Amino acid sequence: MRSAVKIFNEICHRKLNVAVAGIPKTVDNDIGIIDRSFGFQTAVEMAQQPINAAHVEAESAVNGIGLVKLMGRSTGHIPLHATLSSRDVDCCLIPENEFYLEGKGGLFEFLDARLKENGHAVLVVAEGAGQDMIPRTDAQKEERDESGNPVFLDVGGWLKSELKKWWARDHPDELFTVKYIDPTYMIRAVPANATDNLYCTLLVHSAIHGVMAGYTGFVCGPINGNYAYIPISTFYKIMGRSHQL
């Protein structure tokens, strides 16, 4: 959308008869005012496969834990919906809710109880969860990606290491297994399912109708169940603060 704003402004400057229309796109479904972005349903559906695999691996081992890291930098919609859809997940960690490892009510206490009760557990974590708990060097604290966002460390790998340290400390003579699965690119690099295909078609048709009606510099998206046209510059500003809405 940042690029679309620049293109729109340049077209206006040159007074060209070119329309610019945008469609909100993110599989994370984390745009505050938009009901749903396309790709989200497909991502949730595909996330079931690694969760099922983690459950099988955990159930097949003594004191086994299946750990799955799913997409979600600032919001945990994919991990949350995948967890609710699965029925096999014991704990889901998302950026919206802080968590801690040690002490009463901590993650270790919860997993200890689940392992004693069931002999295995499945843990799903969003990529943005617990980032403030992972040790970083000064250089890592300042690192940014191409879009200017802070570079996240691998919370799954860190959590796997912490789980092993905890078990070795508190249960030194008992077997323990952690199976870590990171299916990020398996989820991203798949064809859209039928629901997302239909939804994207409706978005595109609505955008074309707006252009043919003479509008430009807008974003088409569903708000409260209705397809609305939002000025593209306004929408870009909203996206910039959407994680705080």
8-state DSSP, 147:
T
Contact 114, 77 (CB under 8 A): no
Phi and psi at residue 58, in whole multiples of 5°?
-65, -40
The string of DSSP codes covering 71-84 is --SS--HHHHHHHH
Enter the tokens of residue 46: 């595909």
Residue 41: strand, helix, or coil: helix
Q: CA 66, CA 206: separation in Å to the nearest integer?
A: 43
Catalytic residue (choose from 28, 88, 90, 196): 28
Residues 67, 77, 4, CA angle at the centre, nearest 5°?
A: 125
Q: CA 27, CA 24: separation in Å to the nearest integer?
A: 10
**28 belongs to the catalytic site:** yes
Q: CA 245, CA 242: separation in Å to the nearest integer?
A: 5
Question: Could you tell me which of 4, 29, 35 has the C-alpha nearest to residue 18?
Answer: 4
Question: Could you tell me which of 234, 233, 206 has the C-alpha nearest to residue 220?
Answer: 206
Enter the tokens of residue 185: 């690119």
Residues with a catalytic annotation lie at 28
